[in-house]
């Protein structure tokens, strides 16, 4: 009987497999609300544990708010270019809300390592 399983694999072939392998990522595509929330919380807690300071939560929040602000600005521009004024105004308004949230967050002091907070 002939087997299709090789008796051995060369070191270079094994190294090539390691280098080209794509790591399996957990899929959140069909996750429940609770599964998505737990996934995000676990990732944030693991990241903030590395910093050992509350300031890390502020850094994460600031980045997330900025990305939301950026997304809303891009959506505003798209709708404006498409001459959909009502939708463009809604996206611009929400971008403004996110801008206020980000500015407010940066003004809240989170300790001696907080480089986002103004000096005054």
Structure tokens at 50: 């590395």
Q: What is the pLDDT of residue 29?
A: 87
CB atoms within 10 A of CB 98: 20
Residue-by-residue pLDDT tens, the chain, 120 positions = 555 666 677 778 777 777 787 767 668 888 999 999 999 999 999 999 998 899 999 999 999 999 999 999 999 999 999 999 999 999 999 999 999 999 999 999 999 999 999 887
Token look-up 């072939």 returns 13
Q: What is the pLDDT of residue 72?
A: 97
Token look-up 């929040």 returns 61
Q: What is the pLDDT of residue 103?
A: 97
Q: What is the pLDDT of residue 14?
A: 72
Round to whole Å and give the CA distance between 110 and 4. Answer: 61
Q: What is the pLDDT of residue 21?
A: 78
Round to whole Å and give the CA distance between 12 and 17. Answer: 9
Q: What is the pLDDT of residue 15?
A: 79
3-state secondary structure the chain: CCCCCCCCCCHHHHHHHHHHCCCCCCCCCCCCHHHHHHHHHHHHHHHHHHHCCCHHHHHHHHHHHHHHHHHHHHHHHHHHHCCCHHHHHHHHHHHHHHHHHHHHHHCCCCCCCCCCCCCC
């Amino acid at each position: 009987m002939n087997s299709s399983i090789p008796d051995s694999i060369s070191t270079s072939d094994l190294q090539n497999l390691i280098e080209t392998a794509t790591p399996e990522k957990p899929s959140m595509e069909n996750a429940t609300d609770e599964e998505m929330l737990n996934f995000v919380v676990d990732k944030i807690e693991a990241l903030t544990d590395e910093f050992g300071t509350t300031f890390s939560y502020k850094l994460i929040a600031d980045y997330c708010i900025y990305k939301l602000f950026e997304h809303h600005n891009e959506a505003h521009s798209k709708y404006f270019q498409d001459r959909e004024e009502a939708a463009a105004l809604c996206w611009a308004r929400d971008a403004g809300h996110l801008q206020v949230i980000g500015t407010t967050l940066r003004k809240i002091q989170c300790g001696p390592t907080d480089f986002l907070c103004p000096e005054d």
